[in-house]
Structure 1
């Protein structure tokens, strides 16, 4: 069983690097750094982590092809791979509409744009010179002056079309889900895509649940800590997902309205226990372990623990460590 942790670079780089080092000591296999324009730059953070760690794989979890041209992403992740001694992985998805809109960007054709970006990045990282004029990106004799390599690309997503595409072209998949129902449907979509794939059709795809996680001995503290993140996840969830969990479109749209207006305290108050159950792994260590078991029983080989981790990060990690060690041993 593989475990990853999503690091949110919303604190000084030194602190994020220290958290990454601590998690490598805990036995975590992957470190993913979340990419949001309002936080620290992911590649600066990843470089800091690469220089202080020795075994964990690391990469953006996830970046997108709207804010940054895939040629720049190819250069950046190749540099992280060089600095880390070949430990880089790339998480790529469509980003979220709310964040992109704040930068004046339209969230158009997310599946097609992400797929084209993967093609460009993979070929540039592999040493090709590209003259590429397709739907979204134009390159004219573009080539990296970096030693060619092969970096695994994980596709992050939640919707059925994105996950099917992930199965077609991804080396790995980060399913944005914390509930067994969503993982079951997501796995079906990924394998449907893999059946249609011409990219290494016999490859083993590393499929991970990219979860929202909060753990504490005090269950209520864990649930309260996870509400802001659940609010954001629920607000951006597709219709099929909220219907699966008996959450109304009205509830979803109310959350979306509050978040778009930066009224996060009001959004937090709209989060129900049903939403917390649907969109997070949260509660006491026993609660969290039970949900982890449920996800593993769906056939997963990897789980990524995302923010907020719990009411106090270091204390939460101390609760998570024995769970990871139990599966490792």
Structure 2
């Protein structure tokens, strides 16, 4: 899953916009040379699988998948069926992006995110068996009895695990086809690569190739300040959920980070976004002009096999898709 330069170009299209808009953006992304498009899955946005079906109709070669869905809101058997459906209507272009989900979003629904690593692993193990046409009975972090699908994928569906912590990173390297690293900064990607290396050392030879992708928040525009301003909302949410070691790695002021988190918990989004500091944007988003972003992409590609250009993309989505493609081309060529 890579372009002519050898590195994979991915894009995250967030269903905060209508399906037809995202279908048009997917078509543009394909024209701009992207290899894969992920539709993110959050209960408060439009359904990613509905959006992916529209994206499939609008494209010819672009790989498509949820990025990422979690096996708490939706039963793993149902996720396998939905992904197989996307594979069928896209003539074998589906990928399966699965992760543990956002703890705060799940808590809004009264869902406890228990045993996340086991649940994610069991989910894609089960999905692979179902896609192979097997009837499955499973008792673990979830239950399935005599479950099977009334359809078969056109081919192998690659599994990409959304990961940030050390255990999920290692598990993905050992068992999955790829990883979507929830990070944008070289420091985080270098640390993640070391964790992946431990998992790869235990990977079975018959698992095939493994691909690491930086699932990076990106904001690109002609004007640096406009790009950075557009980065505030996603960076606020990243800071709000950042683990203490990550904040330490970037020397983020604890009080400033706590102020962002507290504003988010109160539901005061304008205040939370306003409390995002320049250091937070530098640590958790690749933001700036095409030239700035190309340099940051180049630094990231020293540690990963490719980049997924994630939300917010930029203040102007169509312009941002084109600029991100140009930045990836420069970074891949320079590398």
Task: String of CA shifts for 1:179-214, please: whole Å, max 9, x gaps.
Answer: 00100111111121121234735x221110000000
- SS of the counterpart of 2:119? helix
- SS of the counterpart of 1:200? helix
Counterpart residue number, 2:94: 88
Counterpart residue number, 2:4: none
Q: Distance in 2 between matches of 1:110 and 1:224?
A: 33
Return closer, same or farther for 1:116/1:251 CA change in 2, 3 Å cut-off: farther
Counterpart residue number, 2:322: 318
Q: Of the candidates 307, 311, 327, which is equivalent to residue 303 of structure 1?
A: 307
Q: Does the CA-based 8 Å contact 2:228-2:281 persist in structure 1? A: yes
Q: Does the CA-based 8 Å contact 1:26-1:325 persist in structure 2? A: no
Counterpart residue number, 1:145: 150
Alignment partner of 1:32 is 2:38: yes
Q: Of the candidates 210, 215, 238, which is equivalent to residue 210 of structure 1?
A: 215
In the TM superposition, residue 68 of structure 1 has moved relative to its aligned partner by: 0.5
In the TM superposition, residue 326 of structure 1 has moved relative to its aligned partner by: 4.3
In the TM superposition, residue 248 of structure 1 has moved relative to its aligned partner by: 4.0
Counterpart residue number, 2:109: 103
Alignment partner of 1:241 is 2:246: yes
Q: Does the CA-based 8 Å contact 1:217-1:284 persist in structure 2? A: yes
Q: Does the CA-based 8 Å contact 2:52-2:64 persist in structure 1? A: yes
Q: Does the CA-based 8 Å contact 1:171-1:205 persist in structure 2? A: yes
Counterpart residue number, 2:194: 188
Counterpart residue number, 1:294: 299
Counterpart residue number, 1:56: 62
Counterpart residue number, 2:273: 268
Task: String of CA shifts for 1:114-162, please: whole Å, max 9, x gaps.
Answer: 111121111111211111112x111111111112542100001111111
Counterpart residue number, 2:232: 227
In the TM superposition, residue 256 of structure 1 has moved relative to its aligned partner by: 2.1
Q: Does the CA-based 8 Å contact 1:133-1:139 persist in structure 2? A: yes
Structure 1 length as normaliser, TM-score? 0.95
Counterpart residue number, 2:120: 114
Task: String of CA shifts for 1:83-131, please: whole Å, max 9, x gaps.
Answer: 0000000100011111111111112221121111121111111211111
Counterpart residue number, 1:197: 203
Task: String of CA shifts for 1:4-37, please: whole Å, max 9, x gaps.
Answer: 1000011111111111111110000010001011
Q: Distance in 2 between matches of 1:248 and 1:65?
A: 34
Q: Distance in 1 between matches of 2:89 and 2:253?
A: 47
Which moves more between the two structures, 316-325 or 79-88? 316-325
In the TM superposition, residue 249 of structure 1 has moved relative to its aligned partner by: 4.0
Which moves more between the two structures, 99-108 or 2-11? 99-108
Q: Distance in 1 between matches of 2:302 and 2:200?
A: 21
Unaligned runs of 5+ in 1: none
Q: Does the CA-based 8 Å contact 2:13-2:310 persist in structure 1? A: yes
In the TM superposition, residue 284 of structure 1 has moved relative to its aligned partner by: 1.2
* Root mean square deviation, CA, Å: 1.5
Q: Does the CA-based 8 Å contact 2:294-2:330 persist in structure 1? A: no
Unaligned runs of 5+ in 2: 1-6
Q: Does the CA-based 8 Å contact 2:235-2:280 persist in structure 1? A: yes
Structure 2 length as normaliser, TM-score? 0.93
In the TM superposition, residue 269 of structure 1 has moved relative to its aligned partner by: 1.5
